Structure 1
Amino acid sequence: MHRYPFTRYYVPGPSPWPLVVGTCCNSLCVSLVLWMHRMEAEKLFIGTLLVLVVTAALWWTDVLREGDMGVQTQYVLKSYRDGVGLFIFSEVMFFFSFFWALFHSCLSPSCNIGCEWPPLGIRTLDPLSTALLNTFLLISSGSFCTYVHNTIRMQSYDKWCLVNMGVTIGCGVLFLIGQGGEYYHSPFSIADSVYGSTFYMLTGFHGAHVMVGTTWLIVSFFRMWRGHFSKDRHFGLEACLWYWHFVDVVWLFVWLVAYFWMGGMFSDKFGLSSV
């Protein structure tokens, strides 16, 4: 900042984190492929994942330190907002591909599965049991974190913001517990034809995003506890809440499509045919 007083963007010094993260991502891909081919790569995968997590934490610590130094101008914050927006858009396209595969298999079942959907022999999950509870949890968490967002934009947060953040984190944890219990008692697996593969890929990746979002919420909670946010500086919290709202909306579509439509609920109730 002192070396470039007339620039709009802060130019950081040399950092090892991009090289380490790139190396870890390459190692993760290689070790995961080797693991899928039944080769002994579990230790490499777990070790690389731990190094990646620690490196990401150190990198984010440097970014937060830059914010404390006052070098993150409005132009830098705009680039952060644009980056988070593009990241969420890429996640939308990611889930769109799974929904595309689901509708392709559901609306035009192949003869390999008897031209029926759900395929013969598949006992689908009840959308009005655990899935309904999980939907209630995520939709409720969206209202709690919206309170936090609106409050911090109008004024500095108070204890009720911390309470609402805690409730939001609790909803995320309960969602993951319910999803895990549903997987454990599920009557079909990911190996049960295209139905099992599409269902578990869609809901499983969403569960992974809930796990990431819950971790991000926990970090934001402790940052709020230590007073890192204010009315004029709270983009880290704002980006976290954007991501959590994205997770909420995606689950609503997952519940309606993967449980109701895919499970044959619409066909049973309204006499629709999936062929």
Structure 2
Amino acid sequence: MKLSTIRTADNATSAVRHEGDELVLLPHVDVAALLASGEDWARRAARADGRRIVAAEASYAPVVPHPNKIVCLGLNYATHIKEMGRPTPTHPTLFAKYDGALVGAHDDIHMPAVSDDLDWEAELCAVIGRATRHVGESEALAAVAGYTVLNDVTVRDWQHRTREFLSGKTFEATTPVGPALVTSDELPPGAAGLDIGCSVDGHAMQTSNTADLLFDVAHIVSYVSTIITLRPGDLIATGTPGGVGAGRDPKVFLRPGQRLVTRIEGIGETSNRVVRDAPV
């Protein structure tokens, strides 16, 4: 099953189920509200028969517009670790984003007026389906409702101002996520073995496979749940493979007017134009 959050009239949103070329509106304001509605959310979502709209005419919000938390991993593919000149981590490298960074699958990405160093990072994103704390790796995947596409677009010079990543990772309107959550039963366990990559104006920049994750989804969910309770709708971005702009010689960054397309096999793609914010 595929689920999305779309924009409706009066600046509202609605969760929807994909059914062929149509979307079936569900009685929840977004996918997170559906996931939080009870253990049988998947059965009810599959059986619901609400108003239908044409999928091609929908405006997609982020799959989860306002997650309780967005947990991200750095340095989780060997190719990216090598291009950034970093040692291989022995534990997951965690940082966070705020929900203001999120945009929909076809929304503009905003290049901040204070930087020219806007970089791409294609990522598999796990969406948590139930409250989870202290879960072992063998049970961790049961907490994942499904997976979506995310690009952890990064303002590199701000990221490298300090040893902490946050300032370069959560500029407003920089992180596309969507267009759909694909439920876990539709994909290999942990969404392993899926081709992942991104392109800029049709030129391939990243090409990899989720089988190459250093820490897989089960390990990540178990590790993060040891620290904090994961809640329905929480997003976990699992890290990016090699091929980022900052890892090239010379470095290459996104420019206004360019189109960034991020794809994951079996899940979908985001397609976003880069626009420059007005000077402050």
Whichever structure has more helix as a proportion of its residues is 1
TM-score, L = length of structure 1: 0.22
TM-score, L = length of structure 2: 0.21
Whichever structure has more strand as a proportion of its residues is 2
